[in-house]
Amino acid sequence: MPEEKQNEPAVDNIPPAPLTLEGSFILHQMFRLRWSAWKAATSVEQKQVIEEAGVLLGEMERGSEEQSALFSLVGHKGDLMVLHFRRTVEALNDAELCLANLRLAEFLEMTTSYLSVVELGLYEASVRLFAALKGKGIQPGAPDWVQAVEAEMDKQRKAAAARLWPQIPPRRYVCFYPMSKLRGEEKNWYLAPITDRQRMMRGHGELGRRYAGQVTQIISGSIGFDDWEWGVDLFADDPLVFKKVVTEMRFDEASAAYGQFGAFYVGLRFPATKLGTLLEGRTPTMS
């Protein structure tokens, strides 16, 4: 049998699920504008709708810790996307209900929505910690195991605070898509050893970091929250970056062998003060 690499702890029989950190809850809301109804409204009614919505949405987008943003969607999947980052699910529901009670809602048709929570996967830290604990003879679930995991999570949480509670990046373009990992007959992400998944995610992360500065990525977990397993938001000042980074990622093993992708939504960000421009049938600017 081959010898184990020196100074590398054995990783047999360690828990298969990596530790994760969670932060802001996220809700994507996609709407189609009911153009016929909007055009049938009087100019006075339109003005009142725009002013009322502008006040509420303006307050939401100015939030420092709990923020919303508006995007004009490109393509047939909708006209408007409202993106909410909140500290709690209750706050998300409040934002959703406030929007539903605007007069603007009479002219909107929901096409879809997506609920998730900012997630940082800790494959590297998990494998290292689990192997070290097993090497000491500490079993999963034992008091010493739980204490060590809690200590590691606390350390990681403090180090990653800014990434767990981000503001919505103030960039012109967004690309959002949901994805899952394959659970097929021949390839099953959840049956692959944690060390194999660790290796693939390490390479996946290294590839993504090559686009640092060009694109800001926010990964959110949605297992138990929505129909897919993760949501991916990419923010950039050049939309071509979306095509380039997603294409390159497709050749990465974690995606090529195991990735499953849902619908893609691309939008242009605009401030609440430009809502009237959108409703006039023109592309709103960022300022």
Which pLDDT tens digit goes with each residue over 150-201? 999 999 999 999 999 999 999 999 999 999 999 998 999 999 999 999 999 9
Span 121-137, mean pLDDT?
A: 96
For domain 23-117+269-279, which architecture applies? 2-Layer Sandwich (3.30)
pLDDT, residue 264, reads 98
What residues are paired with 25 via a beta bridge? 86, 117
Query: For the residues of 102-121, what is the DSSP string, one character each?
Result: SGGGGGEEEEEEEEEEEEEE
User: If residue 260 lies in a helix (H) or strand (E), which one and from where to where?
Assistant: strand 259-261
Among 173, 178, 167, CA closest to 72: 173
DSSP 169: P
> Whats the size of the chain, residue-wise?
287
pLDDT, residue 11, reads 59
What is the distance between the terminal CA atoms of the chain, rounded to a whole angstrom? 65
C-alpha pair distances (Å), 74 with each of 62, 109, 175, 239, 251: 24, 16, 10, 12, 26
pLDDT, residue 157, reads 97
Max CA pair span of the chain? 82
pLDDT, residue 65, reads 81
Residue 232 and residue 177 in contact, taking contact as beta carbons nearer than 8 Å = yes
The pTM (predicted TM-score) of the whole model is 0.93
Question: pLDDT by residue (tens digit) across 233-242?
Answer: 999 999 999 9
Active-site positions read 177
Q: How many Å apart are CA 234 and CA 57, to the nearest integer?
A: 22
The rounded mean pLDDT for the chain is: 94
pLDDT, residue 156, reads 97
User: If residue 173 lies in a helix (H) or strand (E), which one and from where to where?
Assistant: strand 173-181
Q: How many Å apart are CA 100 and CA 105, to the nearest integer?
A: 6
pLDDT, residue 8, reads 45
pLDDT, residue 4, reads 38
Q: How many Å apart are CA 37 and CA 119, to the nearest integer?
A: 40
Residue 267, pLDDT above cutoff 50: yes
pLDDT, residue 129, reads 97
Q: How many Å apart are CA 160 and CA 168, to the nearest integer?
A: 16
Residue 125 and residue 152 in contact, taking contact as beta carbons nearer than 8 Å = yes
Pairing, β 19-33 against β 230-236: unpaired
Span 44-71, mean pLDDT?
A: 96
Among 67, 85, 93, CA closest to 24: 85
pLDDT, residue 6, reads 41
DSSP 9: -
pLDDT, residue 232, reads 98
